[in-house]
Amino acid sequence: MTVGRYPATRLRRNRQDDFTRRLVAEHRLHVDDLIWPIFFTEGAATETEVASMPGVRRVTLDRLAAHVEPAARLGIPALALFPMTPPERRDAEGTEAGNPDNLICRAARLLKAEFPQLGLIGDVALDPYTDHGHDGVFRDGVIDNDDTVGLLVRQSLNQAAAGIDVLAPSDMMDGRIGAIRAALDAERLIHVRLMSYAAKYASAFYGPFRDALGSGGLLRGDKRTYQMDPANGDEALREVELDLLEGADMVMVKPGMPYLDIIRRVRDRFAVPTFAYQVSGEYAMIMAAAGHGWIDRDRAMMESLLAFKRAGASGVLTYFAPDAARMLRGA
């Protein structure tokens, strides 16, 4: 190995100047690594800041193109779309998920027409549409896996028909990737990509997101019968393996920073496109500390994003995407 001995070897030498630091940097963050999750809702001419996510706005559809334009101009490759469904459109089965004119479908058509080069990632799960806030349907008091999968297939075909490029199932039901892939193939939708939330943990860090979509107050109980136990790492590899066998093109680990070890293990084991989701609570922590003047927001933002690359992530879903892209472009 390349081990030297002090004083002939001094690792501080390469840190002395900006130019050597740049030359020896092992990892780099690029605008191409960023996916921006966005929130939108019904109504008109309204932008609402999410209280627990300073700087993140939920916009009405008429404002969506203007909201997204800076990200498109900065060259961010893709958006992850999260609709906030009004309470009167929610029911026990999440029926609205299959409506061809639901919010996400209208948003997809609008964005495809306006920004054809921008990738659209659709959230596949029932929680934005259920009146109980769960990602699946109840049968006899439990979230029924196989009934839910059928509804997710319907939701997926609906989104694909509206122009969603990448379906991203975030529900953690067993077998949904295979079922969705088979349905897409049967429709000859062979280019629709699947980015599986393969290792998604039952996490406290989703709190602000549920505020943003209005599903937090509705949620009965917790999601521990389908999302993963934070204690488990080997199980994440099994989840990823199953999803790859079932036809996932890309996999995701979520949340991000508390699970960097999982990203590294997935990347090392499978060598497939692996994404990290820096979730709402991670964003909120950085923004809250920065808001108090306790940490430097820009540096914490860039350091946290670079850490995902070092851990082996292909890219990161982050609410910081436009700000990070601006810094990377020197704009």
Nearest CA to 215 among 280, 129, 151, 148? 129
Q: Considering only residues 280, 304, 314, 318, which one is a binding residue for ligand PBG as defined by CB under 6 A?
A: 280
> Quick check: is 112 catalytic?
no
Segment contacting ligand PBG (CB under 6 A): 39-47, 156-164, 206-214, 268-276?
206-214
Query: Per DSSP, which regions of the chain are E strands?
Result: 34-41, 47-49, 57-60, 78-84, 119-124, 137-139, 142-144, 166-169, 193-200, 250-254, 274-278, 315-318
Count, residues in the chain = 331
Cβ closest to ligand PBG, residue 114 vs residue 285: 285
Give, for 207, the enclosing helix (H) or strand (E): helix 207-213
239 binds ligand PBG (CB under 6 A): no
Neighbours of 13 (CB within 10 A): 9
> Quick check: is 309 catalytic?
no
Q: Considering only residues 209, 259, 275, 320, which one is a binding residue for ligand PBG as defined by CB under 6 A?
A: 209
Give the C-alpha separation, 214 to 71, whole Å: 25
Q: Considering only residues 228, 236, 279, 286, which one is a binding residue for ligand PBG as defined by CB under 6 A?
A: 279
CB of 284 to ligand PBG, least distance (A): 9
Q: How far does CA 321 lie from the centroid of its chain?
A: 12
Q: Considering only residues 93, 96, 123, 211, which one is a binding residue for ligand PBG as defined by CB under 6 A?
A: 123
Cβ closest to ligand PBG, residue 106 vs residue 223: 223
Cβ closest to ligand PBG, residue 57 vs residue 114: 57
Cβ closest to ligand PBG, residue 181 vs residue 223: 223
Interacting positions 130-159 with ligand PBG (CB under 6 A): 135
Q: Check residue 201 and report its DSSP letter.
A: B
Write b or e for each residue in 101-110: b if 16 or more Cβ atoms lie within 10 A of its Cβ, otherwise e. Answer: ebbbbbbbbb
Cβ closest to ligand PBG, residue 110 vs residue 213: 213
By rule CB under 6 A, what string of x and - marks binding of each residue 152-191 to ligand PBG? ------------------xx--------------------
Give the C-alpha separation, 299 to 284, whole Å: 15
Cβ closest to ligand PBG, residue 169 vs residue 312: 169
How many degrees, rounded to 5, is the angle at CA 246 between CA 143 and CA 250? Answer: 95
Cα Rg of the chain, angstroms: 20
206 binds ligand PBG (CB under 6 A): yes
320 binds ligand PBG (CB under 6 A): no
Q: 166-169 and 193-200: which strand pairing?
A: parallel
Point out the residues that are catalytic.
200, 254
Residues engaged in binding ligand PBG (CB under 6 A): 123, 125, 127, 135, 170-171, 206, 209-210, 223, 279-280
